[in-house]
Homo-oligomer: A and B are copies of this chain.
Amino acid sequence: MSSHFGTLFRISTFGESHCKAVGVVIDGCPSGLKLTEADIQTQLDRRRPGQSRLTTDRQEADRVTILSGTENGVTLGTPIALKVDNLDQRPGDYGDMATIPRPSHADYTYLAKYGIKASSGGGRSSARETIGTVASGAVAAKILTEKYGVEIVAWVSSAGPYRATEVDHQTISRAAVDQNDLRCPDPETAEKMRTLITSLKEAGDSTGGIVSCVIRNVPAGLGEPVYEKLEAKLAQAMLAIPATKGFEIGSGFAGAAMRGSEHNDPFVMKEGGRLGTITNNSGGIQGGISNGEPIHFRVAFKPPATISQPQQTVNYAGTSQVLQAKGRHDPCVVPRAVPIVESMAALVLVDLALRQEARQALHFDS
């Protein structure tokens, strides 16, 4: 496994679907930060299953407990261990899995990797693992907000064939996103998505979607060329989220069809005496380093692999089988993926911010 992430703000997550608890240890959180369970619970609640009729019927309270690292509601600078107990475990739901690897799920590859079949299949690959990411991401985000005023807002920009209208990167807020349970700030498109997802749920099918994200007020200078460029770390972080298939930043794939003369972002002096750019095809990053403009990117999610329609496949022995899954799963993960994307972004940024602070502290004015 590689369940750790970060160089100075370093997380180490744990937990599968059916163990006693899932959680995370945060090593390197600055001291003096006011932090209680409530700061973390908000994002966990946005992530948890059963929060709306669009998601899985599984009900998981997902209450976080701080085991260490704070005293009187303030961080000590020592490791912060966060734990969420697993309450609703029903391994029995996964009966056929012992002999049939589920198509496009991780049963087969986990067996290839670990040589062992867990009752929950690729249990560690389940969305439940993301609790540790979201819990630690909430801490990271709080640091970024309090130190730099960073704002991270993600939303559902597409589901199946429906694509939301463009949002204003300067003003979009989590409150606006949460106005519907699709987390799509375009109400009209959200309604179409709802209809689609509801019908897919009944049909035992699923759909993919896209989560967009904007990050405002990132100080210029974050990102560690060459191999930890800001967009490279964001790409890694986003593709580490279950079910993701693509990442694009700024102009993205569309930029590949553009000319330099239209793609280049000319500089201009902005208010506060800050050098900024008129357009933002760069997505807030140039040469792997933030330039102070809003960072914006999109993450593609495939349709969930677990569907309740019968599927023609083979068992481990290679014999033809019809698999009919019984587990309770989301027909579309993107609404619940919104806080995961935000959390991953926060984890990337806080680590790079710490590294840049170290550099600046030892810079020589020669």
For A58, the chain B residues whose CB sits under 8 A away are none
Q: Which residues of B contact A363 (CB under 8 A)?
A: 30-32, 114-115
Copies in the complex: 4
Cβ–Cβ contact B115 & A31, under 8 A: yes
Give the size category of A's interface with B.
Answer: 35 or more
Q: Are A301 and B256 touching (Cβ within 8 A)?
A: yes
Q: Do B314 and A275 touch across chains, with their CB atoms under 8 A apart?
A: yes
Interface SS of chain A = mixed
List the B side residues contacting A21 at CB < 8 Å: 67-68, 81
Contacts of A43 in B (CB 8 A): none
Which of B69, B79, B125, B231 sits near A239, CB closer than 8 Å? B231
Among the listed stretches A5-13, A49-57, A177-185, which one makes contact with chain B, having 4 or more residues with CB under 8 Å of it? A5-13
Q: Is A226 an interface residue (CB 8 A)?
A: yes
Select A289's contact among B109, B231, B269, B292, beta carbons within 8 Å. Answer: B109
Assembled-state Cα–Cα distance A306/B187 (Å)? 41
Say yes or no: is A137 at the interface (Cβ < 8 Å to chain B): no
* CB of A120 to closest CB in B, whole Å: 8
A66 to B19, CA, bound (A): 9
Nearest chain B CB to A219's CB is how many angstroms away? 8
* Residue A158 is within 8 A (CB to CB) of chain B in the complex: yes
Judge whether A105 is part of the interface by a CB distance below 8 angstroms.
Answer: yes
Given A3-B79, A114-B77, A118-B71: A240 in contact with B260 (beta carbons within 8 A): no
Q: A119-B71, A248-B246, A281-B104 are in contact. Are A311 and B264 (CB under 8 A)?
A: yes
Given contacts A361-B361, A363-B115, contact A300 B255 (CB under 8 A): yes
> Does A78 belong to the interface (CB within 8 Å)?
yes
Interchain nearest-CB distance for A139 vs B (Å): 12
A92 located at the interface, meaning its Cβ lies under 8 Å from any Cβ of chain B in the complex? no
Nearest CB in chain B: distance from A27 CB, A: 5
Q: Select one of B18, B104, B113, B251 contacting A245, CB under 8 A.
A: B251
A12 to B25, CA, bound (A): 7
Taking a contact as CB atoms under 8 Å apart, the answer to whether A67 and B247 are in contact is: no
**Among the listed B226, B228, B356, which residue makes an inter-chain contact with A129, where contact means beta carbons less than 8 Å apart?**
B226
Query: By the criterion CB–CB under 8 Å, are B113 and A359 in contact?
Result: yes
Q: Which residues of B sit under 8 angstroms from A335, Cβ to Cβ?
A: none
**For the complex, is A343 an interface residue (Cβ under 8 Å from B)?**
no
The complex places the Cα of A28 from the Cα of B12 at a distance, in Å, of 12
25 example contacts (A-B, Cβ-Cβ < 8 A) are as follows: A1-B224, A1-B226, A8-B355, A15-B67, A19-B68, A20-B65, A74-B116, A76-B114, A76-B124, A108-B286, A108-B291, A113-B356, A124-B225, A147-B364, A205-B261, A235-B239, A246-B247, A246-B253, A247-B248, A248-B248, A260-B306, A263-B303, A263-B305, A268-B313, A354-B361
If A245-B252, A260-B304 are given as contacts, then 10 extra A-B residue pairs at C-beta distance below 8 Å, sorted by A number, are A2-B224, A8-B358, A31-B116, A33-B366, A78-B123, A124-B225, A129-B225, A246-B255, A266-B313, A267-B313
